[in-house]
Amino acid sequence: MDANTILRIKPELTRFLHQFDDCFGRVTTRRYLDLYVEGQLSHLPRKSIEPMADAVGEPPRNLQQFLSLFRWDEAAVRDRLQQYVARHHGHQQSVGVIDETSFVKKGNKTACVQRQHCGAMGKKENCVVSVHLGYATPEFHTMVDGELYLPEKTWHADRIRCREVGIPEAVVYRPKWQIALGQYERAIANGLRFFWLTFDEHYGSKVSFLRTLDGFGQNYVAEVPVNFTAWTKRPAVLYREHARHKKRGRKKLYPRLKVKNNRRVEVRNILRYSTRMRRTKWQTYHVKDGTKGPMVWQAKRILVYLADENGLPTHPHHLLVARNALNHNEVKYFISNAPEQTPVEMLLRVAFTRWTIERIFEDSKGELGMDHFEVRKFLSIQRHLILSCLSHVFLSEFCLKHRGKKSGTNGLPGSYRDVLAGTTLGSWWTMFPQISRNDRCAIDVNAKAQCQILAEPSPQYN
């Protein structure tokens, strides 16, 4: 935003920020909230502390201390922000999107930095990684939480190094899926409700994560890796020992699987060899119109069974397989715990709507300078991430009010025969209330898909 726009929206921004007054101990501390958010919303090409402070004639050290030393409750700011979003943007068709992003950093003094996979660079790089929770409705999407990922070997195991950058003793290594789960539970406690939850294969591969969400009654569509396993037919379970077969020795635990049973199969082999999957016909769908023309994918679905924490079969889950209509080697696999009557169109639409979090990251970095921070302390970075969420909520509301409401469309995507009539996967919202069991998106369609290397033929699976 340029200076004239900032001046025009200043009264509205002041009212928005006023609700966070009691999260700051002193008025002198509170005034820096305005300066920081205005700096992130400004037209400055670089939105680190020094240029933001220089733009308003403030000593940079004051803004640095606002992040690092001044006493204010950043957790209360986050909670108040989530409560605000729940109150003003609650929707029966809302979705939660879990993803991570990275910030390239030099040296080894920045909290949580290490050489690791950097999504921003598409390779291993010296960077900091943070896990985020996005929130989306038909007309509004924003970021509602962000948290630094603490590497286990290079940071968690070296508490001296942690103390040097202000990482509290209570902050320990947690896998990214546990960080995401904590963010989800926190958002629910603050009143946010997600119709669907969605995430990529890094999170989808964590069966404990899926079980926990299932226990919460949360609908999800999760991308899974090619070696994710499931039963194509429910295995037989023994619930008690038959009297004729009782033997001496250690007592067996029940219920348990029968010894002779069908085995779990990798999803890539289910696609290739399962009789039920092979009999299911591919349906072609117009996903969206991209910059290089229409994006067309083919999909089919069968019901499968996952293993619970005791190795026993769960209730039926959807296995959705999608392949690029122009490149059949480009295949994606998704697991969903949605009700059995959920149509393929809906699952596919949810699976291909992770673009919202990608757009949120793009806006947060490009418009708000979320990746411009030059601070090194743990608390400073955490506060910066929370303030970036706050700025993004205001930016999203500003864009929503000034772009006008879009005319609605009539529900789910059609098959390829409907493409000329304009039916796309982008039209999905009106079907949500009909299929959800609770009030509860998610693949960047331009991301590089996993290519499948099919094995030599093996015996048919059910």
**DSSP conformational letter for 23:** G
5-38: pLDDT as tens digits: 667 788 899 999 999 999 998 999 999 999 999 9
pLDDT of residue 249: 52
**Element holding 412 (H helix, E strand):** none
Residue with tokens 């605000």: 84
Closest CA to 354 of 194, 198, 187, 183: 198
Residue 430's pLDDT band, with cuts at 50, 70 and 90, is very low
Separation CA 378–CA 383 (nearest Å): 9
Residues 6+ apart with CB under 8 A from 40: 47, 52, 368, 369, 387, 388, 391
Cis peptide before 255 (omega within 30 of 0): yes
pLDDT of residue 459: 42
pLDDT of residue 122: 87
Is residue 335 pLDDT above 70, yes or no?
yes
**DSSP conformational letter for 411:** S
Closest CA to 196 of 224, 225, 175, 217: 217
Closest CA to 90 of 147, 144, 37, 20: 144
Separation CA 242–CA 254 (nearest Å): 12
**Contact call for residues 194 and 95 (beta carbons, < 8 A):** yes
What are the Cα distances from residue 325, in Å, to 96, 294, 329, 345? 28, 11, 10, 16
How close are the terminal C-alpha atoms of the chain, in Å? 58
Closest CA to 451 of 295, 294, 328: 328
Share of the chain above pLDDT 90, in %: 67
Task: For residue 421, report the phi and psi dihedrals to the nearest 5 degrees.
Answer: -85, -5
**Element holding 14 (H helix, E strand):** helix 3-18
**Contact call for residues 301 and 317 (beta carbons, < 8 A):** no
**Contact call for residues 312 and 255 (beta carbons, < 8 A):** yes
Closest CA to 337 of 211, 232, 439: 211
Separation CA 300–CA 323 (nearest Å): 9
pLDDT of residue 6: 64
Residue 174's pLDDT band, with cuts at 50, 70 and 90, is very high
Residue 266's pLDDT band, with cuts at 50, 70 and 90, is very high
pLDDT of residue 120: 81
* 79-99 mean pLDDT: 95
**Contact call for residues 188 and 438 (beta carbons, < 8 A):** no
Closest CA to 451 of 312, 284, 285, 324: 324
Higher pLDDT, 101 or 402: 101
pLDDT of residue 410: 33
Separation CA 343–CA 301 (nearest Å): 9
Is residue 199 pLDDT above 70, yes or no?
yes
pLDDT of residue 1: 58
* 309-328 mean pLDDT: 93
Q: How many C-beta atoms surround the C-beta of residue 125 within 10 A?
A: 15
Residue 76's pLDDT band, with cuts at 50, 70 and 90, is very high
Separation CA 111–CA 109 (nearest Å): 6
pTM: 0.85
**DSSP conformational letter for 311:** S
**On the CB side of 401, how many CA atoms lie within 13 Å of its CA?**
9
109-125: pLDDT as tens digits: 999 999 999 988 889 99
Residue 388's pLDDT band, with cuts at 50, 70 and 90, is very high
* 69-81 mean pLDDT: 97
DSSP codes of every residue in 70-100: S-B-HHHHHHHHHHHHHHHH--TT-EEEEEE
**Contact call for residues 318 and 347 (beta carbons, < 8 A):** yes
pLDDT of residue 416: 39
**Contact call for residues 55 and 34 (beta carbons, < 8 A):** no
* 381-387 mean pLDDT: 98
Residue type at 56 in one-letter notation: V
pLDDT of residue 352: 83
What are the Cα distances from residue 29, in Å, to 14, 77, 89, 123? 15, 14, 29, 40
**Contact call for residues 108 and 128 (beta carbons, < 8 A):** no
pLDDT of residue 82: 98
Per-residue buried b or exposed e for 32-50, using 16+ beta carbons within 10 Å of the residue's own CB? bbebbbbbbbbeeeebbbe
Separation CA 336–CA 356 (nearest Å): 19
pLDDT of residue 246: 54
